[in-house]
Structures are given as C-alpha cells and as structure tokens.
A and B are shown apart, each in its own frame.
Chain A
Amino acid sequence: MPGQTDLELNRYLTLQGLTPRPSQVWGSVRLVPLVREKVVGDLRLGLRRYDADFAAVAVKGSMNKPKLSYFSFIPHGLYVTWDDEPLEEVSVYSHFRDMRSQKDGRVSDNGWMKFQTHHRMVKQVASKTIRMFPQHLATEGLLAMHFGGPDVAYDYYSRRLLRSGMSPRIEYALPGEEIPDLADALRVFERYPNQCGVLVYIADALASAFVVPHPQDYGVLHKQLLENLYARLFYYYGQLYDGVDQFGFHVADAGIASLDDLRGAFERATAAHAEFEANMTHDLLGRSVSRRQMYEMGPFELAWFLTDLREPGPQHVGEAIVRDNGTLEYLKTFRLDDDVARRAYWLDHLARHEWDVVAAAGAKNITPERLRDNLVDSGFEFMFREGRATRFDRPRR
C-alpha cells in the first residue's frame, strides 16, 4: 500500500522529446498527434490480447491464494522490453511473438463466461521484459490509496472500516466504444510517419494522453485507444457536444513580400497552432503529482502518478516510463470523474491528519460533522459508526 511516505510531489510530467502537430477533429473528438524527434529503439512495447470476459489480478499474495485482488475487464496487456543497444525490428517482432505464445495467468471457463487470473500488475516475464496492464496499473494505485483504513481506532469509525479497511473499493469507468465519435475519430485519423503519441480531447477536455517509445508500437496500439477506460463524464460530453470547432488557423500577413516570407510565416503559425492545442493539457502537464516508482529497467523507470488532489480542476491518474535523461518514453493517463476525485481527495485529506476527523476538519475550518457529511455524501457512508448520527464530542474510548 502506498503510505504517505512513498509519495513525492514534483513537477513531474513534461512532453520532453515530443513535438505536437496540428490536431485532427472528428465530431466531438480532437486528437493531437505527438511526433518524436529522435527515436532510439532500445525500449519497445508489444500487445498481448486476452479474450477473458473478466479478470482478477493478484496484487498481494500468490495467484492461487491472493491476499488482495483487483477485478476488472482487461482486454489487453502490454509487454515492455528494453536493452542497452537499440533493438532490431525482427528480433522485437519474434520476441513479442514468443511472449504471446506463452501462458499468462490462468483462465477458467464455466461455460458462459471466461475468467482470467493474473499475478501482479507488473511482472517480469522474461529477461529484460515485463508484462503490465496499462491504465489498470494506474487505477489500482488510486484504489489502493489509504486502502487499509485508519491507523488509530477512533470510536466514531465503524467496525467494518476498522476490520477490513476500505475494502471493497469500487469505481466505474467506460470503455472507449461507449464514447460517441471516438471509434470514427480513431479510424479516420491520419498518422504521422514518426508519430509516437496522441492527446485525446473530448469536447476539448483532456480525456487521455498516450505516448509510446517507437512509431511501430504506436501503429500497433493506436486502435487500442478504443479499449481504454474513459471517465463516465466523457460519455455525456460526447453526447452534449456534437462537434468541436477547428480553431481558426491564421497566418499573420504583416510584412510578407515574397513567397519565402509566406512560407516562414506559415511554418511559424503551424508550430504555434500545434503548441496551443497541446497546451490545453495544462491540467496534466507541469502539474505537481504524487508519484511512486513501480519498476526500474536499466535507464528507464516505470512510475505511477496522480495529480495533486489539493489543486482545483480536473484530476488525472496514470503511469509513465521516463528515461534517466528526462525523455518521456511511455505515458497513459486516465482523467478521473469528479466524484471519483472527490472521494480520493477527502480520503487523502483524512489520511494526512492521521484519520483524526476533528483535526482534519479543523484544518479545513469546518465542523467535524460537515467533514463527516462530505465523506458520507461522496459515497463512504459505511465509514462511520452511526452514519449521520456520528458524534465527535464524546471523549475517546
């Protein structure tokens, strides 16, 4: 469980090594391509598909006797392989093919549904190769926050909370198929030759950011964006806005006397235009985040992160692989629904004050009753001994 001490706050995410290009709009979806200037090729991603209808990941304990499990529909996983030297295309291909032919986890089929059990979110499956579940790694990190419950058994907490913590912690998200226009937007998207990522905006709100190390990997994983998880709010956004506008493209015509001037002005305007569209990610990039290292792979580091919940505005959770020189090699994020973010926020706030409701409320300048109501309203009714009748003025037992 990530305790408070694992988390570090810093300005973590930048698009270092990537250049945004002008967006491509389809209906309510805007896709901003990210092009990598220098492709190294010493880190590659491979796709592993699963046909199970539902899956469990043993996060703690063994696969057969898990102590803590994560349940979700997991349509695909990713293999990550790395080396000191750039990898050859052929060997990458055959390596991933070998990986795919390997058994992964255990499948049980009871006739009407297939259920798959996996061991660990991130697992080494071969030398210098790991298997991970994109986005689920991120959401599991979110759900696991303060999962154990209070460290001090205050008498206003319910027995259930004291006994089994926040379990089961449940949140909901939608697959990309449910998001209006997304399937068509991905189909008609025109990929750049060196494209290694994309920013997905729905009704001009950032829904997900996706970056891979190599253009070939992007080609394989582009349509998997449809199998990703999206916040429920994007379903409504997509329904409400039947189209977003192309931002007016304008070339400043002052001082243009020749075709070369015009070409220069056009190129500047294009770069500025793309930069502007990529800067609509300010609610993700350059934000301070809580970060936890998940795996170290030579010069690369796989980390889980969550934007600082104390800052107002949209919150994102995700995982990233960053090279030691700061280049962003892999990124996948998931925008949280506001109610999900609110739950996480209040839980986090409480945990920061050692689960002392009176102290936590004092820090917010509200009454403990009000803090209790906030928690109850955001879905944690089970936390308190008598629900809304909880009293905080009794002496501690």
Chain B
Amino acid sequence: MNAVRDVEREDLLNFMSSCFVATGQDEFYSQADAHTVSLDFLHHYTVANYRPFYTRMLATSINDFNKGLIIANLLARPQFTASEKAIEGRLIARALDAMPPPQAYRALYRLIQRRVNNRRTRAIMRDYLTSRPDPQFHTLKYRRFVRAIAEHAHLKLDAESQQILFRGHRRWNRFDTPVFESYRRAHYEARAILDLPLSVAEGLAERLGYSRERLLTQFKDTMTVREKQRLQRSAQRSGLDFSDAMMTMSLTRLASYVAGLSDAERDGAREKTPLAFQSAAKRAARRTAQRYGRVGLVLDRSRSARSSVAKANRPLAIAVGTVALMREIADDVTVHWTPAYVGEPWDAVAAGPTDLATPLLNALATEPDHVVIVSDGFENAPSGGAAEVVRIWREKLSGHRKTTLTHINPVFNPQTYAVRSLSPHIPAFGVRNVDDVPLAMLMARFKAGVFDLRQLLQFLDVQARSALAD
C-alpha cells in the first residue's frame, strides 16, 4: 500500500513541478516539439488517473500555459459527479479570469482546434466573453480569437460587434460605439489612430505612414505599465526614456530584462538596477510568509543557462532573482556560482561548464540551514559530482544537522516527463517564476517524503477552497 502511495505522490509532484516550468517552447537541450508531445502525454495521464487533483491544480500558481492545457483537457472529458463538476466549472472560470487575456484566449482557442463543442464549453466561452469589463476593446484587440469563439459557440453578439468581426472594413457603416467608430475611421484617417489602444494602433500605423517614434511619443501617456516595460529598448532607440518601468517589474521579468541588456545598456542602468531589484524583491517577499535562517545558494551560470531564443536567459534570470528574493526573506545568504564568479548577481553572464560539486562544498562549509541549488540539472564537470558529494556528506558528515537541500530547476526535461534531478538525495522542483521559490521549497519537502500524499491533497484542497472563497 505504501509503495502505491509513493508512486502516486511521485506522479503528482512530478506533474505539478512540470506544470510550473514547461511552456512548450525550445530549451537549450530540447526542442519545442518534444515538449509538446511529452506534456501532452503527461496531461492525459494525470487527468485520466488523478482528476480531482488535476482540477485543483488550477488553484495553484502553475503557469498559464499549463492552466490552458488543463482547462482544455477538463472540458474535453465529461464529468459525472455533480459536486466535482461544479468545482471544475468555478475553478476554470476563475483561472480564465486571472490569466492575461492572450493566454485565456489561447486556451479557449485550443478547444476550438480540438473541436470540443459541448454545452459546458460553450457556456464557459460565453461567460468569459460576456464577463469582460470592456468587451468592445476585446473585440478589437483580440479580433481573431473573439471571432473564432463567437463562431464556434454560436454566440449572439450585438449588431455592431458582428459587423466588426464578420465583415471587411470596406463594408462597415458608421458605428455608434466610439471605439469601433475610431477603428473604422483609422482605416482612412491618421488622426483617429490616437483613440485606439496601442496594440491595435500598431497594426494600422504602418499603412497610415506613422513612424515608430511618432507612435510611441503620442501613446506615451496612455500606454499600460506592461507595454512600457516591453517597449523600453525600442523606446530608447527612439530617444524616449521609459526606464522608470524597470522599477515596477516583477523579479523574474526584471532579471530577464537585465540579463538581456548589452554591456553599454547595462552601464547606463547601473544606478537603477540595485534599487529595482530591491524593490521587486520586497514586493515578492510580501507575497510569502516564509522566512528562512541561513541559506547557501548554489547557482548555475553555465552556458546552458542562456536557454534558447524563445526563453532567452530564463534559467540565469531565475538564479539572479532567487538571490534578490532570498536576501529579503532569509537572515543570512551566501552565494556560490558555477563557474565561480564574484560580483553583483545581475552582472553575471552565462558561459562555461557546469561543476555543481565545488560550489556545493563551498555552500556546505558555511553550515547553512538550507541549501538551494538553482540549475537546469545538466552537470558535466563531472556529471554526477554533486550527487557523490551529497551522498558522502549525508553518510559521513552531516551528523544530526537538519540542513535541507532543494534543487530548483527552471527547465522541463521532456525525456523524463519531469525536471531533471541531480540525485535522489536532492529533491528537485520546477520553478519558472522566482515568486514560486518558497512554494517549491515546500513542495520539495513533500517530495523528500517528509509529508505524505494525504497531506499533499489536503494542501491543494485548502488552496482551492481559499481560491474559490476570494
């Protein structure tokens, strides 16, 4: 019986861990198609065997890509238990609401592609569209998605939305809805573009002869925060300064942004960078109640931390962000890089081989309460070095000291349907967002067998309940 429970616990934790990291994109060591196939299997396996657990994953902070897959898989399969059905419906609606709209639309579009067209699906689609605070704006900005959904779910939209969606612009008449009317006029008149949201205006700007600079200058005040963050470098080329946007970025986004800067740009942002990291870390720290004592960080900045074009520098960014976060929520933090590096974490550059054993030995020498390894798990100098060090340290040296070891892995490994683990002694958990590091450290305790399956399910149930109670 215990063996069965262990298998179940491992299945569930591996699935959960994968849902935090996998995004179906290229990584350094594997390609997107391998990820898609592997994830597809993992989701089918889990929904078939552990459906209540699978549903409750929507209430955790797993990434939106996997939430989208979960939603599609749940809606594609009938649920006959009334109580579960109600929970599923509410969790799905809530998850869609909480996602950025492009992700939510992509999740719904996946259902269209899979030709799932049951009553539940149609109701979810209808509710999502009607509950948008500004439906006209969505109709314009996500025109392709809204159109496909309206078609698929046989939605009755108002007459003007129908015209916008299903007719070419040459056949449009004057609209009463102001934003639709601006959109119509913007096909003929450059000035009308200013009344549109930036992302819609961008599409029309070129044919109206708007330069990039003029567009950014005129939209400077109406841009959303995220748009400013995203367009910082493009704005810099046009002589605009959005560098204050750095101060509002989340820790992961900030670390990724800084890792992508050229040397000159980095020098330019030198004063602001430490402040930005500090304030981002403070905000992240407020979101968790966890506090740690002495923490030794073992961080991987080997070449593979550059990841791929699609996820440029993501593993490095997680490492850098973890330093900043830990400095806020731990009493004492020591940082050990591989390849060895001293200096500000945000100036680290990914290059060289991966030797995790040496920094791990350095970290253990400081007698910490927690050792956190941030690495993609591809160790090669030599492979298996960290595992040997930990084995001998556990057998001979650790004594009764209660040092916990956690391996935080920012990369999904499609071959094993989980993140790559360094050693059975070091529980590994996937993290794609620095905010999830404390959660990952907790989950690693589940994985190490400190807590059992019942407690894990209980934990998830509490999460789901509190999510629905909000």
Contact = CB atoms under 8 A, between A and B. Distances in A.
Contacts of B29: 188
A257 interface: yes
A246 B384 contact: yes
B166 to A, nearest CB: 47
Contacts, number: 81
A34 interface: no
Contact of B361 (A188, A259, A269): A259
B382 interface: yes
B439 to A, nearest CB: 30
B469 interface: no
Contacts of B303: 190-191
A293 B352 CA distance: 36
Contacts of B381: 21-22, 270
A274 B383 CA distance: 11
Contacts of A257: 396-397
A270 B385 contact: yes
Given A251-B388, A253-B395, A192 B383 contact: no
B357 A266 contact: yes
Of the candidates B28, B304, B389, B391, the one having the most CB atoms from chain A within 10 angstroms of its own CB is: B389
A191 B302 CA distance: 9
Contact of A246 (B352, B357, B383, B393): B383
Interface in B438-460: none
Given A192-B353, A259-B365, A262-B389, A249 B397 contact: no
B380 interface: yes
Contact of B382 (A190, A253, A256, A270): A270
B396 A249 contact: no
Contacts of A259: 361, 364-365, 393, 397
B397 A24 contact: no
A79 B361 CA distance: 44
A25 B383 contact: yes
Contacts of B388: 249-251, 266, 269
A262 B383 contact: no
A273 interface: yes
A248 interface: yes
A273 B383 CA distance: 10
A249 to B, nearest CB: 4
A192 B352 contact: yes
A63 B439 CA distance: 71
A193 B393 contact: no
Interface in B41-93: none
Interface in B251-302: 302
Contacts of A263: 358, 361
Interface string B348-373: 00011110011001001100000000
Interface string A257-301: 111001101100110011000000000000000000000000000
B446 to A, nearest CB: 29
B304 A256 contact: no
Interface string A227-251: 0000000000000000000101111
Contacts of B392: 251, 253, 256, 262, 265
Interface in B369-412: 380-385, 387-389, 391-393, 395-397
Contacts of B28: 188
Contacts of B357: 266, 270
Contacts of A246: 383-384
Contacts of A25: 380, 383
A272 to B, nearest CB: 10
Contacts of B197: none
Given A250-B388, A256-B397, A259-B365, A193 B380 contact: no
B405 to A, nearest CB: 15
Contacts of B358: 263, 266
A266 B384 contact: no
Nearest to B395: A253
A22 B383 contact: yes
Given A266-B389, A274-B382, A253 B396 contact: yes
A259 B390 CA distance: 11
Contacts of A249: 382-385, 387-388
A24 B353 contact: yes
B421 to A, nearest CB: 15
A246 B384 CA distance: 9
A257 B28 CA distance: 39
Contacts of B391: 253
Contact of B397 (A191, A250, A258, A269): A258
Contact of A190 (B302, B389, B393): B302
Nearest to B381: A22
A249 B380 CA distance: 11
Interface string B325-368: 00000000000000100000000000111100110010011000
A269 B355 CA distance: 13
B162 to A, nearest CB: 50
Given A188-B304, A249-B383, A249-B384, A262 B393 contact: yes
A74 to B, nearest CB: 30
B380 A24 contact: yes
Contacts of A24: 353, 380
Contacts of A23: 380, 382
Contacts of B353: 21, 24, 33, 190-192
A199 to B, nearest CB: 15
Contacts of B339: 193
B160 to A, nearest CB: 53
Contacts of A251: 388-389, 392
Contacts of B351: 191, 193
A247 to B, nearest CB: 9
Nearest to B365: A259
Nearest to B357: A266
Contacts of A256: 392, 396-397
Nearest to B29: A188
Contacts of B302: 190
Interface in A186-206: 188, 190-193
Interface in A321-362: none
B361 A262 contact: yes
A265 B397 CA distance: 14
Interface in A18-37: 21-25, 33
B352 A22 contact: no
Interface string A148-162: 000000000000000
A248 B384 contact: yes
A349 to B, nearest CB: 43
18 contacts: A23-B380, A24-B353, A190-B302, A190-B303, A190-B304, A190-B380, A192-B352, A193-B351, A249-B383, A251-B388, A256-B396, A257-B396, A259-B365, A262-B392, A262-B397, A266-B388, A270-B357, A270-B381
Given A24-B353, A259-B361, 18 more contacts: A22-B381, A22-B382, A23-B380, A188-B29, A188-B304, A190-B304, A190-B353, A249-B387, A253-B391, A256-B392, A256-B397, A258-B397, A259-B364, A259-B397, A265-B392, A266-B361, A266-B385, A270-B382
Q: Which 5 A-B pairs have the closest CB atoms?
A: A22-B382, A249-B384, A190-B303, A190-B353, A251-B388
